[in-house]
Amino acid sequence: MLTPAWLDGLSLGDPISADPLEGGYASKTYRVRTDLGKSVVVKTQADLPPDLYALEADGLDALWTPGGFAVPKVLRVTPTFIVLADLGTAEPSATYWADAGRALAAQHQRTADKFGYHQDNYLGTLAQRNPWMADGHAFFVEHRLLRFLERPFCYRQLGEGGRRLLERVVRRLAEIIPAQPPALLHGDLWHGNLLPGPDGAPAMIDPAVYYGWPEADLATLLIYGNLSGDFFTAYEEVHPLTPGWRERAPLLHLRELLSITAHSPTVPETVAEIHSILQRFD
């Protein structure tokens, strides 16, 4: 799929190839090369909410932090596609994971007075509600966990027993999760959204930003695994964590799992994982 209109007005030349890239739930993603030797990344899909790419652009702009991750520059946004600067294909640097840990810690040093964000955005293709709230536990319960019960796929797959178990566990959230100041989060920080940028330095893509608990960003990274211990060591040198965060991580990771059930009609393995986590904290 090669669409010349993607590059209209960007003075990058005419597109000559579009190579599919892996990853991403909502979009088809391509590295587009031009006859002037330039390259960009294009994400596109026709049947998405019309403001999804504009809100992704806002999130990418928000994530830029001195000493933080490389973030792709937004070159063009329309309701059906977004054009991003190409971060390249470099191999990770020798200090990639330690640098990534310090970059995330620097990002989490950016705090707000309340939890939420100045506007709603998206997690996948579902609206992510970000009203400003002073109570982090109430925010996470209402807008990061229970909100998915409104979605038919999630409601049906959890079943009555699972829904009651979830509601019972969230009533204990304040006993389990320590108070944390609201920090700027990527919001969907599984390891697929971390990648080497220019010169192999750590970069991030595909945000669902808001101000929330730092442990929520770390939970998804930890659960999906395959990270160097250098990452967490470097992170805690800059941004120390309350002991026990690794043991609490599965509870915070429920938000990602509930989102998966809300997007998909049949995900039995995810539902089983949700039940297992809830039973552990019940």
- The residue from 86, 188, 206, 217 that is catalytic is 188
pTM exceeds cut of 0.75: yes
> Per-residue pLDDT for 1 more than 80?
no
pLDDT tens digits for range 124-142: 999 999 999 999 999 999 9
**Is there a catalytic annotation at residue 188?**
yes
Per-residue three-class SS string for 138-191: HHHHHHHHHHHHHCHHHHHHHHHHHHHHHHHHHCCHHHHCCCCCCEEECCCCCH
With cut-offs at 50, 70 and 90, classify the pLDDT of residue 107: very high
8: which residues sit within 8 A by CB, 6+ positions away?
A: none
Q: How many angstroms separate the CA atoms of 55 and 63, rounded?
A: 12
